[in-house]
Amino acid sequence: MENPSKIIEGGVEYSLGDFDGTTVHYDFHRILIYLDAKGKLLFGGNFKIHKSDRPVLRKLCAYTIRDAHTCKALGIDLKKGLLLSGPVGCGKTSLMKLLRHLVPGSRHYEMIPSRNVVFSFNHLGYKTIEDYGDSGCFCFDDLGVEPIGRHYGKDCNVLGEVLLSRYELYLASKGRIKTHATTNLNAEELEDIYGNRVRSRMREFFNLIAFGKNTRDKRA
């Protein structure tokens, strides 16, 4: 039987925990070793898991491996998606890309820059809102800094409309089809951009996980 607690990367086998034949009992320390190695393969040798980021990463990992006990203790709802917020350069996008590799064979979300959704709308119109709003599992990167959409002279808050559609999809699928996002903005700033209705829906189908506002810029 294949052992799902082990992953081979670059010819090296990494153990994420212990497998008893039916269940993987994950070990956070071993997960960190794997993520650090995988991060270097994906993003280059300068990638590093910083000790100060471990509290956030613990939450993200517990959600990704579907550790119901830890998630309950941390106030994380496994039926909801993730809204990962924090300052520019703190590593949100890299972590969301990295976490997709933690559970081989699981259904992966597609990383989509929010601005690309708007560019698609400008070209294709409301079909874009259907494409991103009615199906699929996505992580919308840099939510809130995308421009306003414009198609045939009409302006549209594209991501606001997509999020409303994604909320309906969340309800219809009973949480099986999730939406994730990263953002540099806080709740008040998101509400200013998308309005109270969208912000209210976001509270209902996102788990908010936030880096501290003083988190260092990893790109510096």
Q: 62-103 pLDDT, tens per residue?
A: 999 999 999 999 999 999 999 999 998 889 999 999 999 999
In whole angstroms, what is the distance from residue 166 CA to residue 210 CA? Answer: 21
In whole angstroms, what is the distance from residue 26 CA to residue 112 CA? Answer: 29
CB 129 within 8 Å of CB 158? yes
In whole angstroms, what is the distance from residue 125 CA to residue 154 CA? Answer: 10
Mean pLDDT, consecutive 10-residue stretches, the chain (220 aa), reads 83 93 93 96 92 94 96 96 93 95 86 98 96 96 96 95 97 95 94 95 96 75
Within a domain: residue 32? no
CB 158 within 8 Å of CB 123? no
Within a domain: residue 94? yes
Token pair of 91, please? Answer: 């590593």
Within a domain: residue 5? no
- pLDDT of the residue at 106: 80
Containing domain of residue 127, as a range?
Answer: 79-210
- pLDDT of the residue at 107: 76
CB 116 within 8 Å of CB 128? no
Within a domain: residue 39? no
Within a domain: residue 48? no
- pLDDT of the residue at 4: 84
Task: Give the single-character DSSP code of 137.
Answer: -
In whole angstroms, what is the distance from residue 111 CA to residue 185 CA? Answer: 18
- pLDDT of the residue at 193: 96
Average pLDDT value over all residues in the chain = 93
Number of domains in the chain: 1
In whole angstroms, what is the distance from residue 214 CA to residue 120 CA? Answer: 34
In order of 70, 154, 184, 205, the CA distances from 113 in angstroms are: 30, 22, 13, 20
Q: Output the domain CATH number for residue 86.
A: 3.40.50.300
- The single residue listed with the structure tokens 């990992």 is 61
What count of other Cβ atoms lies within 10 Å of the Cβ of residue 142? 19
Cα-Cα-Cα-Cα dihedral of 103, 21, 33, 181, to 10°?
Answer: 20
- pLDDT of the residue at 220: 59
